[in-house]
Chains A and B, each alone.
Chain A
Amino acid sequence: MSVVVAVLVVVVVLLSVLVAGLLRSHGAILRRLDELGTGLEVDPGAPIGSRVVPRTDGSVPSPPSDVPDGRPAVDLAGHGPRGESVVVRVVEVPHDTLLVFLSTGCGTCAGFWDEIAATREQVPDHTRVVVVTRGSEEESPSAVAELAPTDVPVLMSSAAFEQLQVPGSPYVVQVDGPSGRVVGEGTAGSFAQVIALFLRSDGDARHAAGGKARADERRERHLDRILLEAGIGPGHPSLYGPDSEAGDAAGDGPTDGLGEGPDDSPADGGVSAPSDRGTDAEVGR
């Protein structure tokens, strides 16, 4: 009996060692897979080969930080006023889209129809204007065709009103193309007012995103021109303090040509930047 017990103990010990070894090798395989970016908990949307930490706390993926805060838009399909079938892409396209929802009957819309063609040049280059009316079951295609500007796409689709939750007309929805998000919407008394608000918000957005307002850009170009006329280009020693690394580097290395020439000397008169602001050089970008 004791012999049987001893054999069973030995078997149990051997099996325990075997299981422990298997668990260890399994853990090593999982760690290796995780390092290669193909772990079992990897986000399937992540780029191949990227190092992704598995989410084990029940959290959900968060959207990229560069996506504007707005509801998602949708691509639009419908008919044109001449009976043509039309699909207009507004999502995942390089340009922004300004969807102008109009009707043929409302008084305020009448001004919009006339103004859209006339004020199109004021719309930024990266923005496309598309007029949307309700479908032929609610609007007369011939009336829309009569009012429609020739060089602006016109889409008749009641579904577009529902999909983008448009409360009525006139109404304008601005869609950010790359993200496909609605970044602005509302209405105004005229299309010129819409454009003015749109341009202002566009400038604000660029300012908030780290871009420069138009006035700042103009001022910067003006200052750059003055400095360049004085022979002060990027890396010019007068733009940096005596102990500045940038100034040393600029003085030691080759210049890009803008600062070269007979006036390329800190001792020269002309314009010089205060040394405590020297690192803010914006010349000649």
Chain B
Amino acid sequence: MELTGYGIRADLPSGWEGTIALDRDPDSIELVGIGASLQPVAHLASFALPSDRGDFGSGAVDVMSRDDVFVALVEFAPEEAGAALFAQEGLPRRLDPRAFSERSLQRGLPGQAGLQVFFHEAGRAFCLYVVLGDADDAHRLVRDVEQVLATLTIEARR
């Protein structure tokens, strides 16, 4: 099923659901008052996403099972696209299961493993954040994530 919004498009496989919304973080909303703009955040998951969750999945990763995966695509201000942090070009379609670590989790939960990749594409700066429900089954779960990443497209913002 297709999920489209804010120049991001994904074709979700069976059992997956997702949202693409503007960043609802209170700090970001506060910055709007001084001229900043809200950036989109895409959440894709192989489980039912709870409504109340943070940009990096807090509130969602707590309820995922060991068989599940969570993917967040968090956009940063476009002027960041040229920064060294976002030097990697293009959304990574293949992920190395060995690169996942418990230390990469925004919210450390037993058994889970995470990975953060910063990149730029179409003049936009992003962080791809992936959480696996079971660090010991990383190879299988990463394949599930890659299946979704293969369908993700990012267009330039107008």
The answer to whether B5 touches A153, judged by C-beta atoms less than 8 angstroms apart, is no
Say yes or no for B52: interface residue by CB 8 A criterion. yes
Bound Cα distance A91, B52 (Å)? 22
Cβ–Cβ < 8 Å partners of A86 in chain B: 3, 18-19
B-contact bits for A81-101, CB 8 A (1 contact / 0 none):
011111111011101000000
The answer to whether B4 touches A92, judged by C-beta atoms less than 8 angstroms apart, is no
Q: How many residues of chain B get a CB closer than 8 Å to chain A's CBs?
A: 22
Cβ–Cβ < 8 Å partners of B16 in chain A: 87, 89
B residues near A, CB below 8 A?
1-6, 12, 14-22, 24, 48-52
Q: Which of A75, A82, A85, A150 contacts B4 (CB 8 A)?
A: A85
Q: Is the interface of B mostly helix, strand, loop or mixed?
A: loop
The answer to whether B50 touches A151, judged by C-beta atoms less than 8 angstroms apart, is yes
**Ordered nearest first, which 4 A-B pairs have the shortest CB separation?**
A84-B21, A85-B5, A85-B20, A89-B17
B154, chain A: closest CB distance, angstroms: 14
The answer to whether A82 touches B5, judged by C-beta atoms less than 8 angstroms apart, is no
Bound Cα distance A88, B48 (Å)? 8
Say yes or no for A77: interface residue by CB 8 A criterion. yes
B122, chain A: closest CB distance, angstroms: 18
Nearest to A88 among chain B residues (CB) is B17
The answer to whether A84 touches B15, judged by C-beta atoms less than 8 angstroms apart, is no
Say yes or no for A135: interface residue by CB 8 A criterion. no
Cβ–Cβ < 8 Å partners of A152 in chain B: 51
A-B contact pairs, 22 of them (CB 8 A): A75-B1, A77-B1, A82-B24, A83-B21, A84-B5, A84-B21, A85-B3, A85-B5, A85-B18, A87-B1, A87-B3, A89-B1, A89-B16, A89-B17, A93-B15, A93-B48, A95-B48, A128-B48, A150-B51, A151-B51, A152-B51, A153-B49
Bound Cα distance A87, B5 (Å)? 11
Q: Which of B6, B14, B19 contacts A80 (CB 8 A)?
A: B19
Bound Cα distance A91, B4 (Å)? 20
The answer to whether A153 touches B51, judged by C-beta atoms less than 8 angstroms apart, is yes
